[in-house]
Structure 1
Amino acid sequence: MPGEALIRSLGTSGGAGTGSSAAADTIVLERRSEARTPTNWIGLILLRDGTEIPCTVKDVSKSGARLGLPDTVVLPDAFQLKVVGYAFLLRVRLVWRSGHCAGVRIERFGKAPPPAPAPEEPKAPAKPAESYIVRGRRISRFSPR
């Protein structure tokens, strides 16, 4: 890992308390059990009452994700997250919240069902021409005159 040398140097030079805040952030990131993959996915938080809250999925791992959303939005403990464009539907649980970001643990992963096709309206039968005008008839050399 790229940050291993930094962590070793902090450990031998007096511990984590002597490093800068950037180094402390690196240590926190390196303690994760799974690697996070940066993303910029558009998501929708689906609440039980039918409310949809737009958000962005900033990064994702096998077991969790970091969401970006307005800090004024109040999130329940558990909700569904739909990733637009990929048809992912996740059942997630809120783990932490800090300002414009929220961390969630993925409890169940699935594909969103395809949208139901719109029912076709029955076509009205074709109306016969009401004002059909006979202008003459076609004469063939084989037809009787």
Structure 2
Amino acid sequence: MFERRVAERVRIDESGIITVDEHTTLPCIVYDLSETGVRLTMPTTHAVPETFLLDAPCFGSGVCEVAWRTEESIGAHLTRFPT
């Protein structure tokens, strides 16, 4: 199988929070993480916009842009905020 990822992903399985806007947050599980991307799982991805803020103890905060989505998972490009 052809690997399209730029960086190797590491399995995480930690909770995270997606911030949709100043009034809306959604819980998720950070399933795996790399230097450039993240895979998230949740009951439904319907309410998650194409660009969102992700906060998780495993890496801090960052802006995500959806690369792909299914009913219960999102793969996204991740830009981390400096700490």
Q: Into which bin does the TM-score normalised by the smaller protein fall? A: 0.7 to 0.9
Counterpart-to-counterpart distance in 2, 1:37 and 1:72 = 22
Aligned to 1:50: 23
Q: Which protein has greater RCO, CA pairs closer than 8 Å, 6+ apart?
A: 2
Gaps of 5+ in 2: none
* Aligned residue runs from structure 1 range 1-145, under 5 A: 27-28=1-2, 30-71=3-44, 73-83=46-56, 85-86=57-58, 88-111=60-83
Query: 1:78 and 1:34, CA in 2 relative to 1: closer, same or farther beyond 3 A?
Result: same
State which structure, 1 or 2, has the greater radius of gyration over its C-alpha atoms. 1
* 8 Å Cα contact 2:45/2:70 also seen in 1: no
Counterpart-to-counterpart distance in 1, 2:82 and 2:43 = 26
Query: 1:40 and 1:31, CA in 2 relative to 1: closer, same or farther beyond 3 A?
Result: same
TM-score between the two structures when normalised by the length of structure 1: 0.51
Richer in strand (by share): 2
Structure 1 residues 72-129: Cα deviation after superposition (integer angstroms, max 9, x where no partner) = 532111110010x457011111111012110110123344xxxxxxxxxxxxxxxxxx
Counterpart-to-counterpart distance in 2, 1:51 and 1:31 = 32
> Which one-letter code corresponds to 2:51 in the other structure?
A
Counterpart-to-counterpart distance in 1, 2:50 and 2:40 = 14
Q: Percent identity?
A: 30
Query: 1:76 and 1:97, CA in 2 relative to 1: closer, same or farther beyond 3 A?
Result: same
Counterpart-to-counterpart distance in 2, 1:77 and 1:37 = 23
